[in-house]
Amino acid sequence: MATSNMMIPDLGGAENVEVIEICVAVGDVVSEGDSIIVVETDKASMEIPASSAGVIKTIVLKEGDTCSLGDVMVEIETAAAPDEARELAPHVEIEMESAIVEAVIPDVMAEAVAVESERLALVPDLGGAADVEVVEISVKVGDELAEGDSLIVLETDKASMEIPVTFAGTVLEIKVAEGAKINVGDTIAVLTSKASKVALETLVSQVPQIKETVAPSKAPAPVNQAHEEMEVIIGSAAHAGPAVRMLARELGVELAQVAATGPRDRVLKEDIEAFVKQKLQQPASSSSQGHGIEQPPAIDFSQFGAIDRIKMSKVQRITAQNMTRSWLNVPHVTQFDHADITELEVFRKGLKAEAEQKGTKVTPLPFMLKVCALAMRQYPQFNVSLENDGEHIVQKHYINIGVAVDTPSGLMVPVIRDVDNKSIWQLSEEVIAMGAKAKSKKLMPVDMQGGCFTISSLGSIGGTAFTPIVNTPEVAILGVSKAEMQPRWNGSEFEPRLMMPLSLSYDHRAVNGADAARFTQYLAKLLGDIRHLVM
């Protein structure tokens, strides 16, 4: 074996060109012509190929370095003297000229099977993390590992991760210790590789056939096949030509994510196009999956017991879409408060007879509508919508409030218009009418459009508080829970008071926390003494 420096060739006169990519890792077996690095001048990017076959021992340059003719790129170990064939065996380069194949393969392969083939298990791409601490060594020398077995455990400030071995083999030597800091490309362990051995054995068995079929200049098919089997896949270095790399950069595509269909796993222009097309075809609007977030795995629940699979109603599907879109787009905060509605309830109950006369019923909800309308006048930042350009806010001067209604077909939100201009009687009638329409599926699309704010009242059911989801493009929603008697300190003693829990969720891009606290305090003030409603 001989170690030599592989240098930067003549770059057409260009000097101090930037290294934009290192295509190999230490331990990689490269053939003559394989890309070692990619450099970029102000005119083009170009791959610098290996001038000979061998095993990468050291990488001298790194991304961001500048280099010129004669600079050392890598140190490479190459096969040299025939008596060093034993050493060459583990790293034998299959895709070599046929003459070499004929001359070397029989002996080398025989040796390769006799001496076990060694492979290095390297640290893969750690998502950009550097100097990551080894917190556990999961193997010991002599362990027989299957592909995917954990070698070591690393810990970053965000997570701990197991690093699996990418091929089966027996651990010969462990190159890292607990507490060590490691980086992509570092050697974790040296293993004997069963896969390589099998491949080599296969290859040896094919030697006579290879000898017969070898063409004057190219290695035959069985050789390539064996090469595939024994290829050491290290890291995620993708192989691609400069034009393809440039296209990938322009489109923001990470080459490592693209399925390569070119010869020797090279990424082609068509592969990039197919990748982009596939990404574009992914249902961006799709409702319940969002923003590239991976969906939970599909599970066959029937394996655990009896199930029914029921199609969601259209309302349920649309609600799911709207909720997901809002949840993923809106930075939500929920402000909690209580309103003392003791006096309001006395007043409301006193309206019972009059309400019956009018053929209606007054619940706390019309009062909630009214106080919210007044609060939206007082704090107009709650009556806005954000434009998608991220630069404009639409301030509304009308006050329409949606009321969430639970129906057998799903949640519906009819909108009560011009709430600020309507009396409690009018609002009561409209809430009852809209609720009935919703439950009998008589709501028209126009009945559910144009809302500025939403109230979701669970007061008739129970609960102490909840975090409603903003009904975009509105910027706030008030959740109302069940009013209950609570002991309140009046300055000298505890008094039983009827307290209504308020949960105001808001879009923090449009509303700040202090205003949200003022808004709910204002609601509590109006509800606590409804004489304020006429002020």
Q: 130 vs 312, which CB is nearer to ligand CAO? A: 312
Burial 183-206 (b: 16+ CB within 10 A, else e): ebbbbbbbbbbbbbbbbbeebbeb
Least distance in Å: CB of 508 to ligand CAO? 21
Name the residue nearer to ligand CAO (CB basis): 189 or 502.
502
Site for ligand CAO, residues 162 to 191, rule: CB under 6 A = none
Interatomic CA distance for residues 19 and 15, integer angstroms: 12
Let me know if 239 is a catalytic residue. no
Answer whether 506's CB lies under 8 Å from 336's CB. no
Quote the crossing angle between the two packed helices 364-378 and 342-350, to the nearest 10°.
130
Nearer to ligand CAO, 234 or 405 (CB): 405
Structure tokens at 374: 């007044």
Q: State which residue, 267 or 424, has the beta carbon closest to ligand CAO.
A: 424
Residues 407-466 that bind ligand CAO (CB under 6 A): 411, 431, 435, 456-461
Smallest distance from ligand CAO to CB 473, Å = 18
Nearest-approach distance from CB 358 to ligand CAO, in angstroms: 15
Name the residue number minimizing CB distance to ligand CAO.
459
Give, rounded to a whole angstrom, the gap between the first and last alpha carbons of the chain.
Answer: 96
Q: Name the residue nearer to ligand CAO (CB basis): 85 or 365.
A: 365
> Do 67 and 39 meet the contact criterion of CB atoms below 8 Å apart?
yes
- Rounded Cα gap, residues 287 and 283, in angstroms: 8
Q: What is the per-residue binding string for ligand CAO in 463-482, x denoting contact by CB under 6 A?
A: -----------------x-x
Is residue 20 within a helix (H) or strand (E), and if so which, with residue range? strand 17-22
Residues between 315 and 374 that touch ligand CAO (CB under 6 A): 363-365
Residue 337 Cβ vs ligand CAO, minimum distance, rounded to whole Å: 13
Q: Is 201 left (phi over 0), alpha (psi -120 to 50) or beta?
A: alpha
Shortest Cβ 525–ligand CAO spacing (Å): 17
Min dist CB 492 to ligand CAO, Å, is 28
Compute how many other C-beta atoms are within 10 angstroms of the C-beta atom of residue 287.
15
The tokens for 189 are 């362990």
Beta-sheet strands, E only, within 271-391: 332-340, 384-386
Q: Which two tokens stand for residue 355?
A: 């309400």
Among 325, 319, 332, smallest CA distance to 475 is for 332
Q: Which is nearer to ligand CAO, 31 or 321 (CB)?
A: 321
Q: Which stretch in 125-133, 264-272, 306-314, 402-410 sits in contact with ligand CAO by CB under 6 A?
A: 402-410
Interaction of residue 403 with ligand CAO, rule CB under 6 A: yes
39-98 binders of ligand CAO (CB under 6 A): none
Point out which span in 20-28, 151-159, 283-291, 399-407 binds ligand CAO (CB under 6 A).
Answer: 399-407
Active site residues: 508
Binding site for ligand CAO (CB under 6 A): 363-365, 403-406, 411, 431, 435, 456-461, 480, 482-483, 500
